[in-house]
Structure 1
Amino acid sequence: MTDRQPDRTRRRVTAAASGVLAAGAMFGVAHLGAALLDPPASPFSSLGDAFIDLTPEWLKELAISWFGTNDKRALLVGMVMVIVIAAAGLGILALRRLRVAQGLVLALGLVTGAAATSRPQTGSLALLPSLIGAALGALALGWLVVRIPAGAGSDPQPGPAPQAPPREQSRRSFLGAAAATGVVAVLGAVVGTLAAGARSTAAAVRTLVLPKAGTPAPPVPADAQSPVPGVVDVVTPNRTFYRIDTAFAVPQVSPDAWQLRVHGMVDREVTLTFDDLLSADLVEAYVTLTCVSNPIGGDLAGNARWLGLPVRQVLAQAGPRGDADMVLSRSADGFTASTPLEALTDDRAALLAIGMNGSPLPAEHGFPVRMVVPGLYGYVSATKWLVDLEVTRFADAQAYWTVRGWAPRGPVKTASRIEVPRQGASVPAGTVAVGGTAWAQHTGIAKVEVQVDDGPWHEAVLAGEISIDTWRQWSWRWEGATSGQHTLRVRATDADGVTQPGTPSAPFPSGATGWDEVTVRVG
């Protein structure tokens, strides 16, 4: 290594840090500007939403299989890492080509601004926060780079090179500029987050008093919970209910401004306000929801007590035409779902839900209004932050996931899973308690069977049934478990007498099939 090499390396590391600081200032100021002007236009949420929309199907499925309900956090971490690496590269580039690097910063601002303006929930000022942030980021990059202390091994600066840092610039000058840029970045992020929080729907969720149901849900049977310790709660608490959706940041929809438009192939258009729902004769029902991406044995399912207005009553006001066969529901963030019309007009508890387990809908689960439809996977029915119902036909319209190759109708497939003992668990020889959950929404579970290794199937004891629209728990006593490694399998039969197939298949395009199995060590 030459004598000049250490100086050159230090300058490049300092330049990389300058790029990261400038990017922090850019995104912090843009986030603050969005919080003040148009909260959904925040660059992180805009880029995140755009990335989700543009991600190929195989990568989305991989993310869900790896991270489950933490997929949004994983995306955020990945975005931050990419931005940090790119910003460091721009800082190094700025040592030789400052104006080019600044131009790339401005280009990044245009990209984030374009992503913001493409989101359905943003307004006319969506481009402005990103442009302001990019302009400040470009200025900060130049301000920092020209203050990088020159060393004996500094890179030559060809051409007119206004970016060439004078040798007499002191390290103290650079550190002061770096500290000031860091303060701008942190203040922008913190104050922007606080300002956005002040405009969120959290206060409305906390203060909303739900009306009593005109038709309350029947009480949960005393024996509905499996007696095996470790089996999940038969009614899933709101805080642990799975969340899978396409929104990188939770949409903030004010109940005061909320409206639902019902239109399309109808005799008359209908518009509902949130006050209309609060004053309606509401229905309460326990319904289990399941994600189509749930693998065999997966945990992307939950059971809750929902409060809402039956969708069939709203559709009856609109009067669907005889040749309509689908309702395209739309979220405030642009997501759409294609629901068979018959599933919304028959006697099942398909609801415009405003309550969940006795509380207003949490924001992440669709406040103020979402759809809940028994018997269908969420991707074709469980639209959160609902704002629009278009009565149409499957032949005329496609929804968010059907455009991407998923089946358009999405009936839930019968599934069962072993929750106790867990995969890889060690259990004592003798008698082993085995338990889990099965579901066949809107059909009901009639039987669950367990197999040890390749032996005969043994019928499990079913817990009490809340309704055919909910999952059902089960338990089985494994008598005479012998030392060694053993594999347990489970299968369920629905109320129509159809047993779930053992041949495994992936979730795409219409839901996974196969028997869940766990391998345990006895002794």
Structure 2
Amino acid sequence: MQTHTDTRQERFASGFIAGLAAGILATGVMLLLNILLNGVSLPEEVGGAITRLMPASIFDALHRLIGADAKRIFVAIVVAGQCAVFGLIGGLVNLATTHPVLVNEKKNGAMRLGAGIFLALILWLASGLLLLPLVGAGIFGAQLSSGTGGTMWSLGLVGLIYGVLYVLLRNWFRIREQIEENQPGAQERRARAKRTRRDILRNGGIIVGVGVMGILAWRFISNGINGANNLAQLTKNFKRKIIPAPTPNYGTLQPAPGLSSEITSNDRFYTVSKNLVSDPTVNASSWHLEVKGEVAHPFTLTYDELLKIPTKQQYESLMCISNEVGGPYMGNALWDGFPLSALFERAGGVKTGATKVVLRAADDYSDSIHLSKALEPTTLVAIRMNGETLPQLHGFPARLLVPGIYGMKHVKWITSIEVVNYDFRGYWQGQGWNDAAPIRMTSRIDTPRTDTSLKAGQKTYIAGVAFSGNKGISEVDVSLDNGATWQRTTLKKPITALTWVLWELPWTPKEGDYTVIARAVDLEGNVQDPNPASPAPDGSSGYHTVSITVR
């Protein structure tokens, strides 16, 4: 059998393909171990480090440009990047591996299985001693919830799968190439295949690049068109505060199709977290809650002990700080929990000089609230949601509720509560997001939706929700003439001042094109800010607007 001498390019290419294929499988195993057994996920840690380094303004701009799929696209990019690195490693190893200890020349240059095990060891050490400390996870993930032990075994298993599979695939490719080399016309086929691969890479890269640029350009242009409004008209007679505050126009609402339910079901309640791949699944039997720091007597609670603390019910709405004007990241639920202050009382009180309360979670998330906020009677540790045990996606076994501030402060999957005497900055504050995070008043038009076509002369309803944190809503107004005039809507009396308010306006339209705008006023008389602002770093502002055609 004649043996073709591979060029360096061919050796790298075959090694890259073997490494890429092995890397795809190894990455899949890594993600499964992370989801099922709390193993370490390198895409999660690397992606998290990238987002932490990204300023809030850039993070927000990318989110608005790409849209609601931004997180999934970013995850796909990070995972694809890891697979590409595995491929690159495979190509470089195939170039460098010529030593008889690693390659058996008597078997046509087949790589020994020991070479794959050695490669797995190198990757294990590099990931644990270099990569994880570099992204802030500590040596072999010492700073992660998986701990050093969980990180070491999961990295080791993934590395072993990659190393062994890489050797098997590399040897299979080599045998296949040698068999094909002895077939008639082999040299011509090799040259043609080489040209084809080069053309595919070049032309494919151009097509992908042009496509991505086209999509981003279209989003930029369309967002600019859709977001344009006559701000001067809206602010012409704007008054920041009405004194005295309007008396709420409470009444009975019609069941307008598309209007949000007053209570958001658990499965429809929004979920947002820092996690790129998966949120934690907490085992109640092994979970415990630490209360520590600047308290007289630190202590630890098991889940069973937590359930014995007397609870109360509280209706409260939550909104994410990344919610756009008119966005979906709002919800209202009935929560069962106990005041956070009850834990401090159990700890014998808070020491003099304490200023903040730091909360840490099972997914290594952290944030803090001011001690004065923590001591408010409506700041709860919640253990039930809408009459059910707190769902995993919403923070089981326990989460924080802090009325009046954005959802990033309502820490889920709590594992420790620490009272401190310094200015602790949490996960998102490192990117520049507002630390106090007070909710900015907002109103949303649920129905009709933008670009809806209605029939002239047929009665319909303009309806939606309004929310102002813990300040309540006294009035919601709707304009059909770009803010020149406003019509007062009917409000459904809210359950508490901590929840959103449903509103509705009956309307029998005439033919024409309409721009519908909504604004709110809180119970203190503060009027919703008409000036548009993106979510970063303080939360979004501006008036929600929809375009409607009536024929």
The answer to whether the superposition gives a TM-score over 0.5 is yes
Superimposed CA distance per residue, residues 46-103 of structure 1 (whole angstroms, 9 cap, x where no aligned partner):
4454454455534543464467775553343223332344445555556644579989
Which residue type is aligned with residue 339 of structure 2? P
CA distance in 1, matches of 2:252, 2:20: 55
Do structure 1's residue 482 and structure 2's residue 542 form an aligned pair?
Answer: no
Give the structure 1 partner of residue 268 of structure 2. 240
Query: 1:66–1:250: structure 2 CA closer, same or farther, 3 Å change rule?
Result: farther
User: How many angstroms does 1:511 deviate by?
Assistant: 1.3
CA distance in 2, matches of 1:165, 1:52: 48
User: How many angstroms does 1:253 deviate by?
Assistant: 2.3
Alignment of 1:108-119 (within 5 A): 109-110=124-125, 112-113=127-128, 114-115=131-132, 117-119=141-143
User: How many angstroms does 1:45 deviate by?
Assistant: 4.4
Give the structure 1 partner of residue 172 of structure 2. 147
Which residue type is aligned with residue 252 of structure 1? T
Query: 1:32–1:283: structure 2 CA closer, same or farther, 3 Å change rule?
Result: closer
Query: 1:346–1:29: structure 2 CA closer, same or farther, 3 Å change rule?
Result: closer
Asked if the contact 2:315/2:495 (under 8 Å) is kept, the reply is yes
Give the SS at the match of 1:443: coil
1:264 to 290, 293, 298: 293
Give the structure 2 partner of residue 388 of structure 1. 416
Give the structure 1 partner of residue 326 of structure 2. 297
CA distance in 1, matches of 2:160, 2:122: 10
Which residue type is aligned with residue 309 of structure 1? F
User: How many angstroms does 1:40 deviate by?
Assistant: 3.2
User: How many angstroms does 1:294 deviate by?
Assistant: 0.9
Query: 1:269–1:11: structure 2 CA closer, same or farther, 3 Å change rule?
Result: closer
Query: 1:273–1:29: structure 2 CA closer, same or farther, 3 Å change rule?
Result: closer
Give the structure 2 partner of residue 425 of structure 1. 452
Query: 1:235–1:35: structure 2 CA closer, same or farther, 3 Å change rule?
Result: closer
CA distance in 2, matches of 1:440, 1:337: 22
Give the SS at the match of 1:456: coil
User: How many angstroms does 1:283 deviate by?
Assistant: 0.7
Alignment of 1:50-199 (within 5 A): 50-62=49-61, 64-65=63-64, 72-90=71-89, 96-98=95-97, 109-110=124-125, 112-113=127-128, 114-115=131-132, 117-125=141-149, 126-148=151-173
CA distance in 2, matches of 1:52, 1:244: 15
Superimposed CA distance per residue, residues 410-436 of structure 1 (whole angstroms, 9 cap, x where no aligned partner):
111111011111112112223441011
CA distance in 1, matches of 2:123, 2:75: 17
Give the structure 2 partner of residue 438 of structure 1. 466
Give the SS at the match of 2:173: coil
User: Unpaired segments of 5 or more residues in structure 2?
Assistant: 100-114, 133-139, 184-249
CA distance in 2, matches of 1:483, 1:127: 68
Do structure 1's residue 332 and structure 2's residue 369 form an aligned pair?
Answer: no
Which residue type is aligned with residue 128 of structure 1? W
Superimposed CA distance per residue, residues 212-233 of structure 1 (whole angstroms, 9 cap, x where no aligned partner):
xxxxxxxxxx978763210122
Superimposed CA distance per residue, residues 192-211 of structure 1 (whole angstroms, 9 cap, x where no aligned partner):
xxxxxxxxxxxxxxxxxxxx
Give the structure 1 partner of residue 477 of structure 2. 449
Alignment of 1:305-316 (within 5 A): 305-316=334-345
User: How many angstroms does 1:332 deviate by?
Assistant: 2.0
Asked if the contact 2:56/2:537 (under 8 Å) is kept, the reply is no
CA distance in 2, matches of 1:98, 1:280: 63
Give the structure 1 partner of residue 436 of structure 2. 409
Which residue type is aligned with residue 145 of structure 2? Q
Give the structure 1 partner of residue 104 of structure 2. none
CA distance in 2, matches of 1:20, 1:226: 58
Alignment of 1:199-214 (within 5 A): none
User: How many angstroms does 1:250 deviate by?
Assistant: 1.6
CA distance in 1, matches of 2:39, 2:528: 43
Query: 1:110–1:425: structure 2 CA closer, same or farther, 3 Å change rule?
Result: farther
Superimposed CA distance per residue, residues 348-378 of structure 1 (whole angstroms, 9 cap, x where no aligned partner):
x221111111111111211101111111112
Which residue type is aligned with residue 400 of structure 1? Y
CA distance in 2, matches of 1:70, 1:328: 31
CA distance in 2, matches of 1:469, 1:34: 37
TM-score by length of 2: 0.72
Superimposed CA distance per residue, residues 365-413 of structure 1 (whole angstroms, 9 cap, x where no aligned partner):
1110111111111223x001112122234x5322222232222211111
Comparing 39-48 with 442-451, greater Cα deviation is found at 39-48
User: How many angstroms does 1:237 deviate by?
Assistant: 1.2
Which residue type is aligned with residue 457 of structure 1? W
Give the structure 2 partner of residue 182 of structure 1. none
Give the SS at the match of 1:354: strand
Which residue type is aligned with residue 242 of structure 1? Y
User: How many angstroms does 1:343 deviate by?
Assistant: 2.2
Give the structure 1 partner of residue 538 of structure 2. 510
Comparing 445-454 with 106-115, greater Cα deviation is found at 106-115
CA distance in 2, matches of 1:35, 1:489: 43
Give the SS at the match of 1:40: coil
Give the structure 1 partner of residue 303 of structure 2. 274
CA distance in 2, matches of 1:225, 1:231: 10
Do structure 1's residue 283 and structure 2's residue 312 form an aligned pair?
Answer: yes
Which residue type is aligned with residue 452 of structure 1? L
Give the structure 2 partner of residue 23 of structure 1. 23
Query: 1:276–1:18: structure 2 CA closer, same or farther, 3 Å change rule?
Result: same
Asked if the contact 1:110/1:130 (under 8 Å) is kept, the reply is no
CA distance in 2, matches of 1:365, 1:345: 23
CA distance in 2, matches of 1:346, 1:67: 39
Which residue type is aligned with residue 311 of structure 1? L
Give the SS at the match of 1:509: coil
Query: 1:522–1:279: structure 2 CA closer, same or farther, 3 Å change rule?
Result: same
Give the structure 2 partner of residue 354 of structure 1. 383
Give the structure 1 partner of residue 223 of structure 2. none
Which residue type is aligned with residue 22 of structure 1? A
CA distance in 2, matches of 1:311, 1:400: 21
Which residue type is aligned with residue 145 of structure 1? R
CA distance in 1, matches of 2:98, 2:285: 48
Asked if the contact 2:20/2:90 (under 8 Å) is kept, the reply is yes
Root-mean-square deviation (Å): 3.5
Give the SS at the match of 2:267: helix
User: How many angstroms does 1:336 deviate by?
Assistant: 1.5
Query: 1:104–1:440: structure 2 CA closer, same or farther, 3 Å change rule?
Result: farther
Asked if the contact 2:8/2:95 (under 8 Å) is kept, the reply is no
Alignment of 1:363-374 (within 5 A): 363-374=392-403
Give the SS at the match of 1:423: coil
Give the structure 2 partner of residue 461 of structure 1. 490
Give the SS at the match of 2:497: coil
CA distance in 2, matches of 1:83, 1:294: 30
Query: 1:520–1:88: structure 2 CA closer, same or farther, 3 Å change rule?
Result: farther
Comparing 135-144 with 371-380, greater Cα deviation is found at 135-144
CA distance in 2, matches of 1:364, 1:99: 51
CA distance in 2, matches of 1:329, 1:133: 32
Which residue type is aligned with residue 452 of structure 2? A
